[in-house]
Structure 1
Amino acid sequence: MAGLSSFLLLVVGVLTWQLVVDDPYVAPSPAAPTARAVDSAAAGRVLDALVDAVSAADPEAARALAAEGDQAAGDLLAAVATNAGELRVRDFSARYVASTGPATADGTWSVRADVAWRFDGFDRAPALAEVPVAFRSVDGEVGLVSIGGGDGRTPVWLAGEVSVRRTPETLVLAAVAADVDRYARLAARAVPVVRRVVTDWRPRLVVEVPASAEDLDRALDADPGTYAGIAAVTTSVDGSLAPGSPVHVMVNPVELGRLRPAGAQVVMSHEATHVATDAPTSSSTPLWLLEGFADYVALRDVRLPVATTAAQIIEQVRRDGVPDTLPGATEFDLRATHLGAVYESAWLACEVIAERAGEDALIALYDDVAAGMSLDRALRRAGLSERELVGAWQDRLSDLAA
């Protein structure tokens, strides 16, 4: 009862205080955490030291740059320096651009850093990307906490340890060690497939395999889920469309990993064709020709019936009828429905050109359009008009769907 009496006294005391005080009682708000100033000069010095450690491929020097007591940060930085040695990273730089806010109560803050790199023997010029980097100040000492995450790119080789396989013509890096040999074989086999058609290609094929589809989105600074249904994409690693920008094949290990060997090889050969023809920097080539030509190369020597390689467009034609026109840019949107059927229809258009005018004429057409020639003029050089091509393509679709 003593405890109860004390409780009642407390309640009565509060009520009495409320009766005799004019102002209502307001509980004090908890103190907000004090934002701490960032030390941009010290962070810049840490980035300079990271450049030295990575350029020297010195994992222990890199590890020493981690924030005090942060084992995970130390492991990440050591892995990055080791990756740099395996990948023969050159022209590496990291420049502090600006902080993205004040430091939190524990002394952590994030910055935007301009990071440049290239893989020696494969990239003609460095990639340059804005990469988020986090620092922490502990007892006045500034150290690195993380690289990537948040807004900006998280290059695969900067996200953690990668396994590397290299030949004179291919470079494969995979975040999951168990994946690397499979993708190295796919890349190596893609080279002769492409060179049978693109005979002047000097192969320098780089394939990057992040750990997940989510990591692929982060590597390409894409909205979450953008590449969830895509097996692979060929693109510049920094998002630049300038000629000479490093163009790599970026793999979604979930989608490509579930394909059978033949299907996975077709995908890799398709993407390697894009590398060989600098497709990501081609702004003048219609997507049906860009993607159809890559499939033409990848499927040229594959012994599969057309009922298999064109199954989705055959089904669509049976359901909806023959399309009026060749597929346009909107139909190749990653969020478009029936994307597989669109690719198959583009491949069949290139098949029709090769059958009517010959493979050399198809290659010349592709090169002419990529160089800026109008499609109509390039087709006429191949002995076709656009109207004749569309008609022959529609006839092929009708025949297949019959």
Structure 2
Amino acid sequence: MSPVRRPLVRVLPLLLSALLAGCGAPAPRDGAERDIREAVADWSRTPPAQLAGIPLEGWEYEVSAVGRDGAGATARAELRYRLAGYDAAAAGSAREVRLTRDGGRWRVTGDRAAPGALPQLWDQGPVAVVRGVHSLVLGVGQDAGTLSAIAAEADRAVPAVSKAWPGPWAGRAVVLVPGSVDRMAQLLGRPAAEYRGMGAVTTGRVGAAAAPADRVVVNPEGWSELSPAGRAVVLTHEVTHVATRAATTAITPLWLSEGFADWAAYRAGPATPEQAAPALARAVRRGDVPGELPGARDFAFGGDPEALARAYEGSWLACRMIAERWGEAALVDLYGRAGREPWPVAVRGALGVDPAALTEDWRQALREEFR
């Protein structure tokens, strides 16, 4: 049996990045609007109590619009902040701040995600914080033991990833642990059904531009069903996505991104292809050898689970074959080239063969592995 349910990793819009933008000249502000803006500014100078312990810096709300309704008011604002030691750039969150008139002064009474924006973890309750050597774990509705165990797993994953990926990266991981798969889905803005049975996903922007740190978001329900070996594979896989994000672009083949993450996760472990690729082994032995490397459509969630498993397994075995035949440095070189060069150019430059030859080598390796 495979030691881990295959995680479907999507390049999701950054969890904390819905920005508000205005156009044209600002409208004149009356005295009440100025007072409301000042009230928000005064209130926002200190992060709320449920964020105590989170290493925040640069915390500020920038009001973009104010609306009044009777004795109350609503300010649309952009929250900007960084996790000190983790975020290379400020994270953003579109917020809606509620105020009421109290004794002649405006007072903030509530703060939530703006309509259409993704909520923050702390919108779901007080945040518990566990700091690891290489990790920062933030959780809501989780006991300290669970968060500490996840931090320990992340601390093991980070150096394992650094050995597999010698390219530059921060060498740290931020892990969010919501209270349930439904709460996870709220943070990611997707249906909960997409994440059931999965251990974790990674959010982030691809490319090398400055951006807040990626967040690994754990599904506590899927995580609890994993074996210790499965947890190690899942978290190392996700942290690999964090490490390789700057080298990953829209032209990076999805099979290479997913296969490399699994290669890094299985690289130092005892799992054999028979153990880690059971779906593909069954297919090859019945004569169903894939004709081509997995395409993006093969990773689509909601289809045949066996087909999805074969896509992940085949991608891992392709990367494993490249590392064994051409060397680990060549696999890393291929990954870097694939994000900036056309695929045929990247393959020839890193491996000295054309894509058709690489595909045929992989197909033959599958036949030999699963006779």
Contact 1:279 1:290 in 2 (8 A): no
**Mapped partners of 1:289, 1:240: distance in 2:** 14
Say if 2:85 is the partner of 1:121: yes
The structure-2 alpha-carbon separation of the partners of 1:280 and 1:254, relative to structure 1 and needing over 3 Å to count, comes to farther
Matched, 1:87 2:54: yes
> For residue 147 of structure 1, what is the amino acid of its counterpart?
R
Q: 1:394 to 1:240 in 2, by over 3 A?
A: closer
Answer whether contact 1:190 1:272 (CA < 8 A) is retained. yes
Between Structure 1 and Structure 2, how many residues are aligned?
Answer: 332
Secondary structure of the corresponding residue to residue 46 of structure 2: helix
Query: Tell me, which stretches of 5 or more residues in structure 2 are unaligned?
Result: 1-31
1:391 aligns with 2:350: no
Aligned to 1:164: 129
CA deviation vs aligned residue, 1:3-41 (integer Å, no higher than 9, x gap): xxxxxxxxxxxxxxxxxxxxxxxxxxxxxxxxxxxx865
Question: Higher helix fraction: Structure 1 or Structure 2?
Answer: 1
Select the residue among 286, 297, 312 that pairs with 1:330: 297
Query: Which amino acid in the other structure matches residue 228 of structure 1?
Result: R
Match of 2:198 in 1: 230
Question: Is 1:207 matched with 2:175?
Answer: yes
Query: How many percent identity over aligned positions?
Result: 33
Q: TM-score, normalised by structure 1?
A: 0.74
SS at match of 1:196: helix
Q: Which amino acid aligns with 2:294?
A: P
Q: Distance in 2 between matches of 1:290 and 1:113?
A: 36
CA offset at residue 377 of structure 1?
1.8
**Structure 1 residue aligned with 2:43, among 47, 50, 61?**
50
Structure of higher CA gyration radius: 1
Evaluate the alpha carbon distance shift between residue 152 and residue 351 of structure 1 in structure 2; reply closer, same or farther with a 3 A threshold.
same
Given residue 171 of structure 1, which amino acid in structure 2 is its aligned partner?
Answer: L
In structure 2, the CA distance between the partners of 1:303 and 1:79, relative to structure 1 (3 Å rule), is: same
Query: Is the aligned partner of 1:376 residue 2:369?
Result: no
Cα distance change on mapping 1:388 and 1:109 into 2, 3 Å = farther
Give the drift of 1:308.
1.4
- Worse-superposed segment, 173-182 or 392-401: 392-401
Instruction: Tell me the equivalent position of 2:270.
Output: 303
Residues 357-380 of structure 1: CA deviation (Å, up to 9, x unaligned): 11111111111112x122212222
Query: Who is 2:321 aligned against?
Result: 352
Matched AA of 1:303: P
1:366 maps to what in 2? 335
Partner of 1:131: 95
Amino acid at match of 1:269: T
C-alpha deviations, 1:130-184, integer Å up to 9, x for none?
Answer: 2344555678754323423863111214532222122453211111233210110
Q: Residues 260 and 280 (structure 1 numbering): CA distance in 2 closer, same or farther, change over 3 Å? A: farther
1:148 paired to 2:101: no
Name the SS of the counterpart of 2:94 in structure 1.
strand
- Tell me: higher relative CO, structure 1 or 2? Use CA pairs within 8 A at least 6 residues apart: 2
State whether residues 248 and 336 of structure 2, in contact with CA within 8 Å, keep that contact through their aligned partners in structure 1.
no
> What stretches of structure 1 of length at least 5 have no aligned partner?
1-38, 55-76
Residues 164, 264 of structure 2: 8 Å contact kept: yes
**How much is the aligned-residue C-alpha RMSD, in angstroms?**
2.8
Q: Tell me the TM-score normalised to structure 2 length.
A: 0.79
Match of 1:24 in 2: none
Q: Which residue of 2 aligns with 1:245?
A: 211
Give the structure 2 partner of residue 27 of structure 1.
none
